[in-house]
Structure 1
Amino acid sequence: MPPSSAEQRDQRGLGPALGLGPALAPALVIAVSLVVTVVLARIVAGAARTGVVTDPLVQVLLADVAVWIPLLAAVWWTVRGLPRSDVVLRLGLRFRVVDVFWAVAIAVFARAMDALLNLGVFGVTGLGPQLVLGDGPSPALLVLMVAGPVLVSPVVEELFFRGVLQRSLVRWFGGSDARPGVLAIAVGVLVSALVFAAMHLLIGSLTPASGLVTFGSTFLLGVLVGTLAATTGRIGGAILAHVLFNAIAVVLTWSS
C-alpha cells in the first residue's frame, strides 16, 4: 500500500528525529499511550481504594479521564495536520445504515456470550439489577455513570483500537500492497483485540476469575467489531456495536 500523506509526514517528523523508521514512530506513540493509560488508571484506582479520593463523582470522572486522554492523544497524533476529509479516510470514520444491523447483532451476541461466561465462572449472568444502599448516587454521578461507558468510552476506544491500532497493524503487515492480504487483516484484527482485552484486564482491580471473564468478553467483542471494521472499511458500525454492548449492561443492571 503506498504511504498516505500522514505516513509521509511521519517520515519527516517524529521518526527521523528519534532515529526511527516510518512504522516505529507511530508504534512508539501507540505503545506509550497504552502504558500511560494503564499507569494512570491504576493510580486512580489506588487513590480511590486507599481513600485518597473519596468523592464517588471524582473517582468515576478520574477513572474515565485516565483512559480517554492518553488514547485520544494517540488518535490526535495520528491525524495531526490532516484536513478533515483525510482524517475520515485515515480512521475509517464513516457509517452506513447497514452497519446498524451488524452492530445490533454483534452487541447482542457478545453480551450473551459475556453472560454465559459469567454464568460458567460465577453461576450468575452478572446482568441483574444492582443493590443500592441509602439514597443511591447523585444525579450528576448517574449521568456520568451512563454517559461515560455508553457514549464516550466506546467512541474513544474504537477510534484508538480500530481506527488507529488495527489499521496501523494492517498497513505494517500488508507491506506495499494496495490491498492488504487476509493475513495482514487477520493480524490487525486479532492483535488489536488482544491489546483491547489486555488493557481492560490491566486497568481493573480484578480477581483471577473476574479477570478471566473480562478478558474473554472484551477479546470477543474486539474480534467481532474488528472484523466488521476490516470488512466494511468503516469504524462507524464498530462504534455503534460497542455503544450497544455497554448500553445493554447498563440497562439490565440498572437498579429497580
Structure 2
Amino acid sequence: MSARFEELDWRPTPIGDISLRRRREPTLGVDVYEIKLDDDFLMSSLFTVAEIELARLGLAALAGTGLDVAVGGLGLGYTAQAVLEDARVRSLVVLDTLGEVIEWHERELLPVGTRLMADPRCRLVRGDFFAMVSTDAGLDPETPGRRFHAVLVDIDHTPRNVLHPSHAALYTPAGLRRLAGHLTPGGVFALWSDDPPEEEFEAVLTEVFATSRAHVVTFPNPLTGGESANTVYVATTPA
C-alpha cells in the first residue's frame, strides 16, 4: 500500500517552483503522479489520453518508416512513450526547459521514465523549445539544422493561455513558419490544447501549412464522473 500523499521533489526554477508529487486516489485504488508549477497543475497521470493521442494522431498522418520525431515538453512522459510504441520511429528527441523534469525520469521517480531511459532511440535534452525553434540550429543540439518528420508539442495550456509570455510568438504565422522550417517535406506539426478548437488558431494553421485539422479527444473524468475533452491540432507541410 502506498502512502496517501508524498512530495517526491520540489525545486525553485526561473519560471516558478516546480514539484512532483504522488498521491493515492482511494476511489480508483491507483497511485496518481502530478506535476505542479507554483499552484498550477501541469500534468496528472489520471489524464493522459490526449497526451497519448497527440503522438498517435501526429504519427498517423505520416507514411513510411525511419521516422525522426521531436517532442516539445517531457512532462510525465506519456507522449514520448506513445511515440516509441510506433515501430516506424527511428529516433526521438524530447526537449524540456527544466532539467529537474529530465532528472525525475533519469532517477526513475516516474513509471514511464524507466521505459524512456531503456529505449536507445530516445534522447532527453534540456533546452528551451521555443528559443530553439527560432534558430537555424533547430531542435537537436548534436545535429544543427536537422529536420524531423514530426514535431509534437505539449507545453502550454492552449495557444492563447501560455506558461510564459515568450511562448506566444510560436502560435503566430511567423512562429509556425519557423517551426515548419525544421520539418521534412510532408512533415507533421501536432499540438495539444486544453481548450476546444479555436477558429483563430485554425486560421493561422491554414495560412502556414498545406493541411490542418483539429481533433477533439474525449475521455472519462473519474473525478467528476463525466467526460472531459482536449484538442489535438495536426498540420502538415507540403510534400
Q: Answer yes or no: same fold by TM over 0.5.
A: no
Question: Structure 2 length as normaliser, TM-score?
Answer: 0.25
Higher share of residues assigned strand: 2
Higher share of residues assigned helix: 1
Question: Structure 1 length as normaliser, TM-score?
Answer: 0.24
